[in-house]
A and B are shown apart, each in its own frame.
Chain A
Amino acid sequence: MRRIFVYISSLLLCLAVNTAIAQKKKPIPIPPDSTRWLNGFTVQADVASLMTSTLMSHVTYSAEGGIQLDLKHRIFPTLELGVAGADKISTDNIGYKTNSLFERIGVDFNLRKRKIDSKPTNNLFIAGVRLGMSHFNYDVTNVTIADNYWGSSVPLNYLNQSVTKIWYEFVVGVQVEVIKNFYMGWTIRNKNLISQDALGKVAPWYIPGFGQNNGSSWGFNYTLGYHFGPGPKKKNSRTVQTLPNQIINNQITK
């Protein structure tokens, strides 16, 4: 009984001391975020898709670009548009042909946290999501069904098949301002189709903007971009930088 009393009294004492110390400490006020809401927009073009098209000997090809808004230098709503297609002959001489537009809408977040006393920068480490869509027509030609026993086979052609595909993407990447307002960056994307094709349906082999129709695929973009409008570091950047130091100095002199 005595032990319990000692424990409780020492615990209360500790709490009382802690509260007293806490009351003495005045919280350092966090400077208000003075970055303006809209900091212009960046127009981007993807170089990697053009290089991939060349490497793939134009079996698959794509060209894409995008526009990225800069909100508070933290949130980047993004719209990407492109054109892609495929002209492939399989090992069994089955042909696949498509060519269409695709679009993606999404948002990126700047994960890079700036230290209070550090220099403001336009270099970003981004992570985001996209919702992609493509409505396209495709042809699957020269599909032969071999009948080794009864003989005779007629090639089948599935022309002008129409489909709308929707997918989502997880994006991570880096964006660096190489010279004033001129940006370079890369992103790696994990793409996942929302709906799968029914069994037996003549499914598309390649989806513009998504890639090969495997349910899930990876993508890589290397973008060049130009920023229009005011940069985030122009407005009140000095205030943000000096305000905490002033407060700290005032506290020290007190």
Chain B
Amino acid sequence: MKKMIFILSAVIIGGLTCGLLDVPHPFGDPGVVPMDEHFLGQALKDLSTENVVTSIVFDYRGFDTIGEAAVLFTAICSVTALFREGRKKS
């Protein structure tokens, strides 16, 4: 079992190192992304929002945020239900 784990880790490390030698976009140069250029140019003009990240989270991609709020609400409901009062002691 230990030997299998070490072989697996060696394979993963080797594969990741070979992959990092030839990434399509190196660090510090993501290339031209038209969507982000549009956001950076238009967020202040259209919405008068100084913080571009906030305008993306709550306006351009609000649908992701609504799903995330639903996930958070579901997790809180399950945590509250796990520790509800009146559970019998084991």
**A and B: real partners?**
no
The residues of A with any CB-CB pair to B shorter than 8 Å are none
B-side residues, CB < 8 A to A, are none
